[in-house]
Amino acid sequence: MTALRINGARLLERHKLMAGFGETGNGGVIRPALSDEETSARLALLNLARERGFACSVDPIGNLFIRRKGADEGRAPLRMGSHLDSQIPGGNFDGVYGVIAGFEVLETLEDHKVASDAPIEVVVWNNEEGARFSPTTMGSAVHAGQLSLDKALGSFDQDGNRLGDELARSLTQLGPLKSIELGSESLAYVEAHIEQGPILEQNEIPIGVVTGIQGIVQFEVRITGEEAHAGTTPRSRRKDAFWAALDLTAQLRSVTADKDDAIRFTVGRLTVLPGSPNTVPAKVAFTIDLRHPDEALLASVHTQIYQAAETLQTPCEISVITTLNSPPVCFAAKVISSIERQAAEVGLDTARIASGATHDAKFMAPLCPTGMIFIPCRDGISHNENEWADPEHMIAGANTLLGVITELTRAKPT
Ligand SMILES: [Zn+2]
């Protein structure tokens, strides 16, 4: 028997269809969560699913589940998926690729009458981007019990619209949907996604086997000195908060300059007060965003940041607060090895890679064996209208996903 392959032309056609919802005219989309544009994209997908006889459900936070029946309907479904919402503006690949690749797997299994033991579902997570409503990865966080439903429904966008109301409005446009409870069991979860970074493209590797999602620690640093006249105050008398910030960040840059370039250290916001050209600044506040896949290393740098702040030679006061501490997530060995095996079976090179960005898979990992398949994206660009992935890589990723899903559900042609 020849190996099963997805229908590449149909995958690209579905991709083009989705790109029409919220199209900006500059190659990207504006399709924030629960907007009319995202609702239309969701409806188009649901209509395709209904045509194929797949059951469509929704949970209380607006995650959609498209199900192809298994031989044993009593088993927990194997799930694939991602999201259809975008940044404002965003590209045509982030999220949507994982949804259409998953849907193509369902259609391929249906075309070839392949029976799977467990049911197989595509999940469209609600509000992954967090661009309109906060926080990001909301749908999967609520599904996993890591964020309360009430808090999520009570989130407001910048125009004062409540998420719960916008969800209700969106649902009235989606046609009949069965209700599914939060946190229903999954056999496994596999998400296909563009890398959103440059590594696969640089190394000409079509398939990234994602080992996990790196941890993030964020800090707020406040430095207090003393305001003084810029023209009359000698160096020895100054308590210049800006110079202290420069010395501290320079030290932290060397602490985080690892030789394999895996630590991500960013000072993304810095405020200097009072902000007058002729006053020595008395107050500086800045943020630090620190990321790495290894929990122990992250903890060690975390400590070093506090130590550097305590021991800095400065007449100013320094306080450091940790504002976010999200540990790294490791994906299941079983899913990682399946992705490697199935990519090899399709004749594709693979490399193991940690995800620099966060994804819905992060919240699935504690619930069931979870993994992700990355495909390269041009110049590593994402959250940008110029986001682009090669059609050949899109097809390669979907074929790998098909192999993994088939393996994990022991699907066989009837
Ligand atoms: Zn995404």
Distance from Cα 53 to the centre of ligand 1, integer Å: 27
Distance from Cα 318 to the centre of ligand 1, integer Å: 37
- 215-326 folds as Alpha-Beta Plaits (3.30.70)
Cross-strand bridge partners of residue 56: 66
Share of the chain above pLDDT 90, in %: 96
Alpha helices in 172-240 (DSSP H): 199-202
Distance from Cα 316 to the centre of ligand 1, integer Å: 42
Does the domain at 8-213+329-413 match CATH 3.40.920.10? Answer given as: no
- The number of beta carbons lying within 10 Å of the beta carbon of residue 254 is 8
pLDDT for 2 = 65
Distances (CA, A) of 75 to 7, 334, 409: 28, 19, 10
Alpha helices in 354-413 (DSSP H): 361-364, 391-409
Residue 161 in contact with residue 29, Cβ under 8 Å?
Answer: no
Strands in 136-226 per DSSP E? 178-179, 188-194, 207-213, 215-224
Distance from Cα 97 to the centre of ligand 1, integer Å: 9
> Which residues contact residue 26 at a Cβ distance below 8 angstroms, ignoring those fewer than 6 apart?
89, 385
Per-domain boundaries in the chain: 8-213+329-413, 215-326
pLDDT digits (tens, 9 = 90+) for 21-33: 999 999 999 999 9
Mean pLDDT value across residues 283-297: 95
Share of the chain above pLDDT 70, in %: 99
Distance from Cα 112 to the centre of ligand 1, integer Å: 30
pLDDT digits (tens, 9 = 90+) for 336-354: 999 999 999 999 999 999 9
Q: How far is 165 from 168, CA to CA, in rounded Å?
A: 5
Give 326's pLDDT tier (boundaries 50, 70, 90). confident
Which of 5-9, 216-220, 283-287, 303-307 is least confident? 216-220
Give 131's pLDDT tier (boundaries 50, 70, 90). very high
Q: What is the dihedral of CA 56, 132, 287, 140, to 10 degrees?
A: -10
Distance from Cα 240 to the centre of ligand 1, integer Å: 42
Distance from Cα 280 to the centre of ligand 1, integer Å: 44
Q: Which of 103, 161, 69 is nearest to 414 (CA)?
A: 69
Q: How far is 87 from 32, CA to CA, in rounded Å?
A: 6
Distance from Cα 196 to the centre of ligand 1, integer Å: 9
56: tokens are: 């469509």
Give 414's pLDDT tier (boundaries 50, 70, 90). low
Number of residues that make up the chain: 414
Distance from Cα 83 to the centre of ligand 1, integer Å: 7
Distance from Cα 94 to the centre of ligand 1, integer Å: 5
Distance from Cα 320 to the centre of ligand 1, integer Å: 31
- The number of beta carbons lying within 10 Å of the beta carbon of residue 296 is 9
| End-to-end alpha carbon distance in the chain | 13
Task: Give 39-89 as a DSSP string.
Answer: HHHHHHHHHHHHHTT-EEEE-TT--EEEEE--S-TTSPPEEEEEE----SS
Mean pLDDT value across residues 311-330: 95
Q: How far is 115 from 68, CA to CA, in rounded Å?
A: 10
Distance from Cα 101 to the centre of ligand 1, integer Å: 13
44: tokens are: 């188009």
Cross-strand bridge partners of residue 124: 64, 82
Tell me which H or E stretch contains 31: none
Distance from Cα 250 to the centre of ligand 1, integer Å: 33
pLDDT > 70? residue 316? yes
Q: Higher-confidence residue: 269 or 194? A: 194
Residue 127 in contact with residue 170, Cβ under 8 Å?
Answer: no
Mean pLDDT value across residues 2-8: 91
Distance from Cα 254 to the centre of ligand 1, integer Å: 31
Distance from Cα 17 to the centre of ligand 1, integer Å: 18
Distance from Cα 95 to the centre of ligand 1, integer Å: 4
Distance from Cα 87 to the centre of ligand 1, integer Å: 9
Distance from Cα 84 to the centre of ligand 1, integer Å: 9
Distance from Cα 158 to the centre of ligand 1, integer Å: 22
Q: How far is 331 from 186, CA to CA, in rounded Å?
A: 15
Distance from Cα 191 to the centre of ligand 1, integer Å: 10
pLDDT digits (tens, 9 = 90+) for 41-97: 999 999 999 999 999 999 999 999 999 999 999 999 999 999 999 999 999 999 999
Q: How far is 136 from 122, CA to CA, in rounded Å?
A: 20
Distance from Cα 307 to the centre of ligand 1, integer Å: 35
Distance from Cα 128 to the centre of ligand 1, integer Å: 7
pLDDT > 80? residue 411? no
pLDDT digits (tens, 9 = 90+) for 140-193: 999 999 999 999 999 999 999 999 999 999 999 999 999 999 999 999 999 999
Q: For all residues of the chain together, what is the average pLDDT?
A: 96
Distance from Cα 42 to the centre of ligand 1, integer Å: 16
SS3 190: strand
pLDDT for 3 = 86
SS3 324: strand
pLDDT > 60? residue 1? no
**Which amino acid, residue 89?**
P
